[in-house]
């Protein structure tokens, strides 16, 4: 069984592995708190979970799927919310036609949508910057992409155009401003500074008279190696000593207002190659506790917390493993969901919807049936309110 153009998926965040290799020597001094078991539990009976997904026409195309047919198949499952993304380079080349179709279809079917706006969007290579907007000197490895004033103006203009285009669509329930802005990512390990993100958020608020909540998400705690690889501030020794250090989650909270949403992207197994061999890195066993602490901090500030990505497709070291993955499985999907529900999270969006459809089309319905079972179990969760 072959997977068309899957290399683009396998490469997702692959450059982090270079940073991981530099951190291998520190494993010998890893602190004991990493070995503590996961204990986060909600008080009483956990509330029903609003189950959602992310969907990308680009990722659907990688898997040989027609994006319109795929989106309608997913709509038919009645997710509480579907997260879509605006791809700046695509809009610059071809206009908004593809996203127009998705937003129009969601409006007709009353499917709630959270829309990501900005220069960083869902999927590899993370930043989707058109050549026409690229700074004269290009972008340098590891830099803040918003450091060039002309580029900032172009990005803000793109955000404003997008908000003006979709602000009156009643299916739209929230704006996600950028995607994991405080995590280094992509081939050049770029990131976005808080000052510029605030400017984007201000623009969104001023242009949207419906006052929808703003989402800012972060690639959440995985383990120290991967955390350091994606951290914008680089290596932070405090984390190795077991202290809560500066993090993308805390940075996200700093730019959000009351009623806004901190998104947490949660993965539990990531494959990578090191010295020519396949390896699998697993999340620290305390990951539910770490997430629960961030959630509690957000709630004290009057802010919501969603799981904006829960791993539900493989993240393998090689494209050859995608039909027989080691990083996740239908059983693992159920496990991560139960951990999140037990920890008290009431909105969980799975990552991997295009993969489930591809597997089903090739005779393996276990993935999509797992999601359907979760949806049936959570049918009592409240619907997301559409804009009047």
Question: First and final CA of the chain: distance in angstroms?
Answer: 47
Give the position of tokens 């890195």.
281
Query: Comparing C-alpha atoms, which of 348, 232, 328 is closest to residue 288?
Result: 348
Per-residue model confidence (pLDDT) at position 328: 96
Q: What pTM value is reported for the model?
A: 0.88
Going by pLDDT thresholds of 50, 70 and 90, the confidence category of residue 226 is low
Q: Mean of the pLDDT values across residues 82-86?
A: 98
Domains in the chain with CATH codes: 7-377 (3.20.20.150)
Whole-number pLDDT of residue 9? 44
- Residue 69's Cβ-count burial label (10 Å; 0-12, 13-18, 19+) is exposed
- How far apart are alpha carbons 312 and 54 in whole angstroms? 11
Mean pLDDT of 71-84: 98
Two tokens, residue 201: 């958020």
pLDDT digits (tens, 9 = 90+) for 227-245: 666 665 655 555 544 545 4
With pLDDT > 70 as the criterion, what percentage of the chain qualifies?
83
The DSSP secondary-structure symbol of 323 reads T
In the chain, what's the furthest Cα-to-Cα distance? 57
Task: Tell me the per-residue pLDDT of 142-194, one tens digit each, with 9 for 90 and over.
Answer: 888 888 888 999 999 999 999 999 999 999 999 999 999 999 888 888 999 99
Residues 241-285: tens digit of each pLDDT: 454 544 889 999 999 999 999 999 999 999 988 888 888 988 888
* Band of residue 73 on the pLDDT scale cut at 50, 70, 90: very high
Q: Over the range 121-160, which residues count as b (16 or more CB within 10 Å of their CB) and which as e?
A: bbbbbbbbbbeebebeeebeeebbbbebeebbebbbebbb
- Distance separating alpha carbons of residues 146 and 183, to the nearest angstrom: 14
Write the pLDDT tens digit of every residue in 304-330. 999 999 999 999 998 888 889 999 999
Across all residues in the chain, what is the average pLDDT? 87
């Amino acid at each position: 069984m072959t997977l068309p153009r899957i290399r683009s998926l396998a490469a997702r965040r692959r450059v982090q592995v270079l940073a991981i290799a530099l951190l291998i020597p520190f494993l010998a001094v890893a602190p004991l708190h990493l070995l503590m078991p996961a204990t986060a539990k909600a008080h009483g009976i956990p509330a029903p979970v609003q189950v959602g997904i992310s969907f990308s026409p680009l990722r659907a195309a990688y898997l040989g799927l027609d994006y319109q047919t795929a989106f309608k198949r997913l709509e038919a499952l009645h997710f509480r919310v579907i997260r879509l993304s605006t791809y700046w380079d695509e809009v610059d080349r071809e206009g908004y036609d593809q996203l127009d179709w998705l937003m129009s279809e969601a409006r007709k079917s009353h499917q709630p949508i959270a829309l990501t706006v900005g220069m960083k969007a869902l999927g590899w290579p993370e930043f989707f910057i058109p050549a026409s907007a690229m700074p004269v000197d290009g972008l340098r490895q590891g830099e803040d992409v918003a450091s060039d004033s002309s580029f900032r103006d172009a990005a803000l203009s793109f955000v404003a155009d997008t908000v003006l285009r979709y602000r009156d669509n009643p299916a739209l329930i929230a704006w996600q401003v950028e995607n994991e802005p405080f995590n280094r990512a992509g081939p050049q390990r770029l990131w976005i500074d808080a000052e510029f993100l605030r400017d984007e958020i201000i623009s969104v608020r001023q242009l949207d008279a419906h006052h929808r909540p703003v989402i800012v998400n972060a690639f959440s705690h995985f383990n120290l190696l991967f955390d350091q690889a994606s951290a914008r501030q680089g290596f932070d020794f405090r984390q190795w000593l077991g202290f809560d250090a500066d993090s993308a989650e805390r940075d996200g909270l700093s730019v959000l207002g009351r009623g806004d949403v901190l998104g947490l992207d949660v993965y539990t197994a990531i494959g990578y190659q090191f010295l020519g061999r396949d390896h699998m890195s697993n999340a620290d066993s305390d990951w539910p506790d770490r997430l629960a602490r961030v959630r509690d901090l957000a709630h004290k500030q009057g802010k919501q917390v969603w799981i904006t990505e829960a791993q539900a497709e493989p993240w393998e070291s090689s494209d050859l493993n995608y039909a027989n993955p080691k990083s996740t499985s239908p059983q693992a999907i159920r496990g991560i969901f139960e951990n999140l529900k037990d920890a008290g999270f009431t909105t969980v969006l799975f990552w991997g919807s295009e993969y489930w459809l591809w597997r089903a089309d090739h005779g393996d319905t276990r993935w999509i049936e797992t999601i359907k079972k979760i949806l049936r179990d959570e049918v009592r969760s409240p619907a997301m309110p559409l804009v009047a």
